[in-house]
Amino acid sequence: MHSVAGSNGHAALKTPAGVTHDLLDKHRQSGRTFRLAVAVCGVLLALGIVGFVLRLQDGVSDRAVWGYYAALFGFILMTAQAAPMVAIAPRLAKAHWRRPITRSAELFTVVGLFNLVLFIPMLWVLPSLEDGRRSLWFFSDLNMPAQMPQIVATLSLLFMVAAGLALLWISSLPDLAALRDSSTGGRKRIYGRLANGWSGTSAQWNMQYHRVGILSAFYFIMLVFTHFVISVDFVMALVPGWIDALFPVTQAHNALQAGVATMLVTMFMLRKFGGYEDYFELDQFWALGKLLLALSLLWFWFWFSSFIVLWYGAKPGEQSVLRLMMAGPYQPAFMAGFVMCFIVPLFTMIWNPLRKSIWGPTIIAVGVLVGVFFDRIRIWVAAYSVADIEDKHELDIGAIPTAVMPDIADVLIWVGAIAGVVMVYLLASRVLPVISIWEQKELLLYKSHKPFHRTEVLVLGKPD
C-alpha cells in the first residue's frame, strides 16, 4: 500500500481534532535542543558581525576583497530564498505529498529579510555606471541615473521578499486563527491581529485559495527576475568578454535545484530533532529525490549550452572567460561544483533503492549544497577579482587574475551568516507551526481506505 503523510497508523492523526492537537503541542514545545541551537547560532552570528566590521575596514573601493561576501549573498539567494518554490510548484500540481513540506518551505521567505540586509553593502561595492563599466542599462542615452543597476536590483529583491512574506501570511491565516483560539493573554491578542478576523467562512476560504495562487505566481516571477538583474549587473557585466544570454536563466534553474536540496536537509533535521517523524515520511523524501535528479540533469544541460557557445566561439574574450571561470585559478572550485551538482546526483539518484529512502536523498542534497557553495565562489569571487577596465567596449580581460583566497573576515562572515539564516528560521518556527495544520486536516477529506481483495488500500482524491 502506498503511504502518505499522516497515514502511519496513529489514531490521533486520523481525525481533524487529533491533528490540530498534535501539531499545536509540537509547536508550543521549545525544548533544550531548540534553545541550545538558537544560542549557538546567536554566538556565531555575533562572530559574523565581527568579521563584517573587519571587512568594512578595507573600504569598498577594492572589489576583490568583497568577492566572498558577494558569493555569500548569492548562496543564500540560491538556496534559502528558492526553497519556497518547493511549496509553490507541487501546490499548483495539486500533489498531496507536499502538504507537510508546504509551511516549512514557506518559512524560508522570512530569511529573505536577512538576505536583504546582507545585500545593502553590495550597493556600494558595485561600481557606478559613471565609471564606464558595462551594464544592462544605457543610462547616457535614456537619461537614467548612474545607480540604475542598484535601484532595479533593490526593488526586485524588495518585491520578492514582500511577495514571499505575503504568501506566508495568507497561507497561514487558518493556523493563526487556531493559535488565537487556543492561546490566552497577550499571545491571544497578537495571534488575533495576525489572523485578521479569520473564522473559516466560504468567502474567506475562496479568498485565500485565489490569493495564495496569485502570490505564488508572483513569487516565482520575481525569483526569476531577481536572478536576471543580479546575475547580469552584479556578476556578468564585471567580466569583459562574458556575454551569455543563458546565464541568468541558468542561475534561476540552479536556484530550483538548490532549493530542493535545502528542503531535503531541512526535512531531515525537523524529522530527526523536531519530532515530526509522523509527517516527514518516505513519500516526501522520495518525491523530492526524483525532483532533485531531474534538476541535476538540467544543471548539465544549462551549463553545457553556455559552455559550447564560448568554446566554439573561440574569441579571445570568450577564451579568457573560460580560463577564468573553468580552466584557470578557479578550476578546483568549478570541478567541485560540477561533480557535486551533476556527477554525484546522476550516478547515485538513478538507483531507486537509494532514491526511495530517507538517508539517500538527504546525503545527496548535502553534496549538492556543497557544490552550490563552490559554484558561487567560482562565479562571484572570480568576477569580483577582475580589475576595472576603462573602456567598457573592451571584450578581453587581459591577464587572468590569480585566485583570491578567503581571509579570517570572510570565514567569520560566512559562518555567522549561515548561522543567522538558521536562527531566523528557528525563530520564525516559534511564531508559526512548521507543518500547516489546515492542510493536514484538509488531507483527511481526500483520504479513504477501501477494501481490495484480501487487503485494504488507501484511495486519495484530487481537489477540483
User: For residue range 322-360, what is the model confidence (pLDDT) as tens digits?
Assistant: 999 999 899 999 999 999 999 999 999 999 889 899 999
Q: What is the structure's pLDDT at 6?
A: 41
Does residue 103 lie within any of the structural domains? yes
Does residue 124 lie within any of the structural domains? yes
In this predicted structure, the answer to whether residue 30 has a pLDDT above a threshold of 90 is no
456 or 296, greater pLDDT: 296
Q: How many folded domains does the chain comprise?
A: 1
Q: What is the structure's pLDDT at 5?
A: 41
Alpha carbon of residue 2 to chain centroid: 30
Does residue 417 lie within any of the structural domains? yes
Specify the range with the lowest mean pLDDT, choosing from 169-183, 194-208, 442-456.
442-456
Query: How do beta strands 447-452 and 455-460 pair?
Result: antiparallel
In this predicted structure, the answer to whether residue 279 has a pLDDT above a threshold of 50 is yes
Report DSSP letters for 430-459, one per residue. HHS-SS-HHHHHHHHHHEEEEEETTEEEEE
- How many helices (DSSP H) and strands (DSSP E) are in the chain? 20, 2
Identify the top-confidence range among 136-150, 363-377, 433-447: 363-377
Does residue 18 lie within any of the structural domains? yes
Does residue 4 lie within any of the structural domains? no
Does residue 2 lie within any of the structural domains? no
Does residue 190 lie within any of the structural domains? yes
Q: What is the structure's pLDDT at 143?
A: 64
Q: Which of 71, 77, 133 is nearest to 378 (CA)?
A: 71
> What pTM did the predictor assign?
0.92
In this predicted structure, the answer to whether residue 139 has a pLDDT above a threshold of 60 is no
The Cα–Cα gap between 335 and 339 comes to: 6
Q: What is the structure's pLDDT at 8?
A: 47
Does residue 93 lie within any of the structural domains? yes
For the stretch 381-429, pLDDT in tens is 999 998 776 655 666 677 888 999 999 999 999 999 999 999 999 999 9
For the stretch 76-99, pLDDT in tens is 999 999 999 999 998 888 888 889
Of all residues in the chain, the percent with pLDDT exceeding 90 is: 62
| Amino acid letter, 217 | A
For the stretch 212-243, pLDDT in tens is 999 999 999 999 999 999 999 999 988 888 88
| Amino acid letter, 110 | V
Q: 457 pairs with which residues across the strands?
A: 450
Give the residue numbers spanning the domain of 234: 11-460
Neighbours of 271 (CB within 10 A): 20
Q: What is the structure's pLDDT at 28?
A: 84
133 or 354, greater pLDDT: 354
**Beta strand spans in 167-311 (E):** none
Q: Once rounded to an integer, what is the mean pLDDT over residues 25-53?
A: 92
Average pLDDT over the chain reads 89
In this predicted structure, the answer to whether residue 7 has a pLDDT above a threshold of 60 is no
Of all residues in the chain, the percent with pLDDT exceeding 70 is: 92
In this predicted structure, the answer to whether residue 11 has a pLDDT above a threshold of 60 is no
Q: What is the structure's pLDDT at 133?
A: 73
